[in-house]
Every structure is written in structure tokens, then in C-alpha cells.
Amino acid sequence: MNYYLYAFPTDMRKSFYTLSGIVTNLMHRNVQDGEVFIFINRSCTSMKVLHMECGGLVIYHMKLESGTFTLPNFDEETNTLHSSWQDLKTLTMMKTGKSSRNVSILTVPIHAKKTMKQLFTIVLLSFLFSQNISSQESTEIKNHLNFTIMPLSMVDPTPRFRFGVEYIPKNKIGYSIDLGIGNNFLNKWRLNAPFGHDYSFFEVRPEIKYILKGSDYYYPYLATEFFYINMNDYLESGHHWNENSNIETTYDAAKFNKQKYGIHFIGGVNLTVWRRLNLDFYGGIGVAKRIITYTDVVNPVESTEQMFVEFPSYNLVEGESIILHLTLGMKIGFTFWKK
């Protein structure tokens, strides 16, 4: 594997698109070839490493708590220094001050392939359970009312507390509604939370379920879910791409708003694990309209760079778009009424 150090100082606010633009336009390399590209800021206290892995682009961000990186000697007329893995390790260790144990590393992977694999697994498990249910002794599904929560939503990239109520009657057509509420308190729970102090989140998700053949203790289902999502924040020292153009805008601060609404088609399975406690595993796919706006922008600076198209970050492109939308997860439910 080849390692390339960019010879000039780099603004550490740059991310996937802009760093890829440096690789293509200034280093004259192809970021998709699997090579590793290293960028260091002007004060030699922060490093970003850009690399293409099987699921997409990955950025490793190293920031020194004390001391500075010691750079190798290179020809200032060139844009690139070809390095080896041993040279990279030497670079990260040769610092004035503390040893490398005081360096924090942040990884930002692209999860598109992993998400599709998880979705396929959930749908496959639901199908296998529905095939095996005919061989089990079943009891009639009773009318019941459940209260549900989604604990994993609190550590989601957009953290919120999500809860809901669902009604499952005997006629196999069930109804549910989920609400999600997020704020900066939940945002602080997450390690390296990407949002600011004014983060807020709201979502509502009504759903219609069709219960397949099952029992009062287990049933697979198909569902149609509608959703609306609204997220706000005040971002600092960031950048975004303008709608329908290759113009990148960097800013000191800006108000950020994202709205999404659409529909999901879902398959899942509900299991009673202990008395009135049940688990609901589900996964599905749908379409959504996404609207992203930046307002009250402080010190905007526009520049034109080649926009690298890979798996675009959800908040980098301003404007409206129609997108495929995945959903998968687990709900914990408590049946507080059954008849």
C-alpha cells in the first residue's frame, strides 16, 4: 500500500469532498485506488488520513494534546511526498512533548454497505420465522395495546428519544404511531457528537401493520410507515455545497435545518420474551424528499472545486432531493392492555 503526504498546510475543516478534490487536482492521484493520503495543518498539531475501504471513504483524524508533528524534509516545489507505513508511524511518534498515548483518534466510516447487510439479515430472519410458525402450536392473537421505546435511537447519528403506542386487534390490521424528540442533552451522550449546542430533533411516524399467520406470543408482519423529520442546529466552522453547482461555501457559523418526509415498506417480527415484555425487529426501504437549508451564514467564502461523488454526507449538499431511505431497528414493547 502506498502512502502520500500532502506537502502544504491543510485546513482541518475540510472533509471527504474537499480532501478528495486536493487528491485529484493537486496531488494528481485517484482516491479510489486504495492509496492512503495524509494531510497536516499549518501548526502541525492535527492530522487527517484519507483512505478508500470496501464500504467507502474513511477519514482518521489525529489531534495532539501537546507538542507538534515533526515533518520530513521535502522539495517545496512538489505537492506530494511518497511515504511508507514505517515513515507514517515515525511521523506520528516524532513529536515534541508527550508520547502518542495522549493522541485521540476519530474514525468516520461510511456505513452504506453495512446498513444494507443488516437490513437483509433482518428481512431474512422475518421470512424464516414466518415459515416455521406453521409447525408450531398457535393461539389466537388477542386485542392488545403496547407502549414501545427504541433505546438505540439515543446513540443514533441524529440522537433522540423515540417512543410510541401500537394497537394490535384480532382482525390482523394493526396501527401504531411513534414520536422522536432530540436535544443537546442527548447529543452530548454520543462520543464525538457531530452537532452543536442548539441541536434539536423531532419526528413522527404513523404506521399500518398487516399481521401474518402467528400466535399471541409471536407474529411476523408487513407494514407501511409514513414519516416526517425536522432537525435544527447552529453549526460552527463548517462547509457545504450549494444546490445544483460545484460551488463550495465555507463559513464560521450558520443555522442548519433538515426536513425529510416519505414512506417505508417494512417487514418485521414481534416476539413476546417474558409475560408482557416483547421485542419487535424490523427492516425496510422507502423513498423520501429531503430539504436542507443554511441560513444566517457568518463570513461565507465561496470556492469552486471538483465535487467528488462517493457516498455524500447527508448535510453537505444544500437544496431539495428525492432519495432512497432505509429503516431498521428494534423496539422494546410493554403490553399494558390485553383482551
**pLDDT tens across 64-119, in order?**
877 787 776 665 555 566 666 566 556 555 444 443 333 333 333 333 344 444 44
CATH number of the domain residue 179 falls in: 2.40.160.20
- Using CA atoms, how far apart are residues 133 and 170, in angstroms rounded to an integer? 18
> Of 84, 108, 132, which residue sits at a domain end?
108
CA 308 to centroid of chain Cα atoms: 19
SS3 content of the chain, % helix, strand, coil (to 5): 15, 50, 30
Query: What is the pLDDT, as a whole number, of residue 250?
Result: 86
pTM, entire model: 0.57
| For the chain, percent of residues with pLDDT exceeding 90 | 27
Q: Which residue has the higher pLDDT, 254 or 93?
A: 254
> Of 108, 126, 149, which residue sits at a domain end?
108
DSSP letters for 205-256: EEEEEEE-S--SSEEEEEEEEEEEEEEEEEEEEEEEEPTTSSEEEEEEEEEE
**Together in a domain, 40 and 123:** no
**Together in a domain, 142 and 102:** no
What mean pLDDT, rounded, does the chain reach? Answer: 77
Query: What is the pLDDT, as a whole number, of residue 312?
Result: 46
Query: What is the pLDDT, as a whole number, of residue 105?
Result: 33
Query: What is the pLDDT, as a whole number, of residue 98?
Result: 40
**CA 168 vs CA 2, 134, 151, 217: distances in Å:** 58, 21, 22, 13
Q: Which residue has the higher pLDDT, 42 or 1?
A: 42
Domain total for the chain?
2
Q: Which residue has the higher pLDDT, 132 or 54?
A: 54
**Together in a domain, 121 and 161:** yes
**Together in a domain, 195 and 68:** no
> Of 54, 84, 108, which residue sits at a domain end?
108
Write b or e for each residue in 122-158: b if 16 or more Cβ atoms lie within 10 A of its Cβ, otherwise e.
bbebbeebbeebeeeeeeebeebebebbbeebbebeb
**Together in a domain, 175 and 52:** no
Contacts 24+ apart (CB under 8 A), 192-200: 192/106, 193/159, 194/157, 195/233, 195/235, 196/233, 196/234, 196/235, 196/236, 197/234, 198/232, 198/233, 198/234, 199/231, 199/232, 199/233, 200/231, 200/232, 200/233
Determine which of 164-168, 237-241, 320-324 has the lowest per-residue pLDDT on average.
237-241
**Together in a domain, 126 and 75:** no
**Together in a domain, 126 and 229:** yes
**Together in a domain, 165 and 123:** yes
**Together in a domain, 67 and 145:** no
**Together in a domain, 237 and 159:** yes
The H-assigned helical ranges of the chain are 16-25, 85-93, 112-132, 184-187
96 by Cβ neighbours in 10 Å (0-12 / 13-18 / 19+) ranks as exposed
**Which domain, by its residues, includes 203?**
114-338
Residue-wise pLDDT tens digits, 198-231: 889 999 999 999 988 777 678 899 999 999 999 9
